[in-house]
Amino acid sequence: VNEERLMELYKSVLGSWAECPVRAEEIEGPIPPAFLTFPKIASTLAFIDGHTSFSTILSSSKMTRLETAAVLSQLVRSKIIVVEES
């Protein structure tokens, strides 16, 4: 039950699971360069290509769906990845 609630919370940050995020052209704010090399961050960023949906990333990641959603949420909140408006 808690996992379902957390996934709904992450969905509220990320938007539709069908959206395909892209890397931001410029990273805003003080993000230490080493942050992008953390294994969970780097492995999630490897999926970000503008063509792969959140849903596909969640199911393809070697981490749990919950862990992956948490990382994606962190990347969106940090403005490292964005969902482009169509």
Structure pTM? 0.92
Task: Please write the tens of the pLDDT for every residue from 43-75.
Answer: 999 999 999 999 999 999 999 999 999 999 999
What is the amino acid identity at position 8?
E
82 pLDDT band, cuts 50/70/90, is very high
C-alpha to C-alpha distance for 32 and 13, rounded to whole angstroms: 23
CB-based contacts of 72, cutoff 8 Å, min separation 6: 10, 14, 21, 44, 54, 57, 58, 81
C-alpha to C-alpha distance for 66 and 34, rounded to whole angstroms: 23
What is the amino acid identity at position 21?
P
